[in-house]
Amino acid sequence: MLVEIMKFGCEERAAVTSLDVAETFGKAHDKVMRDIRELGCSPEFNAANFGDIAYVDSRGRQQKAYVMTRDGFTLLVMGYTGELAMKFKEAYIRQFNAMEAALMGKKVEREKGIAVRQALTKALQQSTENTRMHVHAYSTYTNCIYKVLFGMDAKQLRKKFGIQKTDSLRDCFTQEELQAVQSMECLVSGLVDCGWEYNQVKEFIQKNNALRQLAA
């Protein structure tokens, strides 16, 4: 069983797939799909708590599955009975709780990150870097931070996560990764305020990789 953080529209939520539910409860996937379709919930509830996804089966064919939130899952498994089914329900609820706690941690870090990015933007604007880099200082420094922490720039990270340029890259980071990015942004902001230039900052942060410190 696997509860993950997934996108529902523009919002990240803890969710599970119909494939996982079928495997865990020992049911045929097409029967779980039928159960979902026959729930009889309102269009509003259905849109908010169930979504279509595609997967490739063992024969290489693309098939349809559903992804569902905690509320969708709860409604679906109400009718699944038996001692073993109850143990699975309890295990799923524990996983949903853990994922929702992780999601809340990410939201807190994202909110902190707004102030951090504003401080870095202000530091660059008040330095000569923004003019020297033809108003591309923020993206240049951010790419440097990403390359130091992840070994990839923003474009490469977007490709890795399969997201578009208009999507928020930071939504794809874990709580610890967000903390590492923001820690390094604070460091860079302070160095720029002290008059350091790009090459000096780059060399310094390469020696102070926040993720390596975190892993240690």
DSSP string, 16-75: EEHHHHHHHHT--HHHHHHHHHTS---HHHHHHHEEEEEEE-TTS-EEEEEEEEHHHHHH
In a domain, 93, yes or no: no
Of 45, 80, 115, the domain-final residue = 80
Three-state DSSP state, 97: helix
pLDDT by residue for the chain (216 residues), tens only, comes to 677 777 776 677 888 899 999 998 889 999 999 999 999 889 999 988 999 989 888 888 899 999 988 899 998 988 888 777 888 888 888 888 888 887 788 777 878 788 888 889 999 888 888 788 877 889 999 999 999 999 999 999 999 988 888 888 888 888 888 888 988 898 899 999 888 999 999 989 988 774 455 554
Range(s) of the domain holding residue 55: 4-80
Three-state DSSP state, 91: helix
Q: Put the strands of the sheet holding 4-8 in their side by side order.
A: 4-8, 11-17, 62-69, 50-56
Same structural domain for residues 31 and 114?
Answer: no
* Amino acid type, 129: E
Same structural domain for residues 71 and 122?
Answer: no
Three-state DSSP state, 8: strand
Cβ neighbours, 10 Å, residue 216? 5
In a domain, 174, yes or no: yes
Contacts for 50 with CB less than 8 Å, ≥ 6 apart: 36, 66, 67, 68, 69, 72
Same structural domain for residues 110 and 69?
Answer: no
- Total tally of structural domains belonging to the chain: 2
In a domain, 90, yes or no: no
Tokens of 171: 């939504």
Same structural domain for residues 58 and 24?
Answer: yes
Same structural domain for residues 39 and 75?
Answer: yes
Same structural domain for residues 136 and 169?
Answer: yes
Cβ neighbours, 10 Å, residue 136? 13
In a domain, 132, yes or no: yes
Same structural domain for residues 46 and 145?
Answer: no
In a domain, 87, yes or no: no
Same structural domain for residues 71 and 131?
Answer: no
In a domain, 152, yes or no: yes
In a domain, 47, yes or no: yes
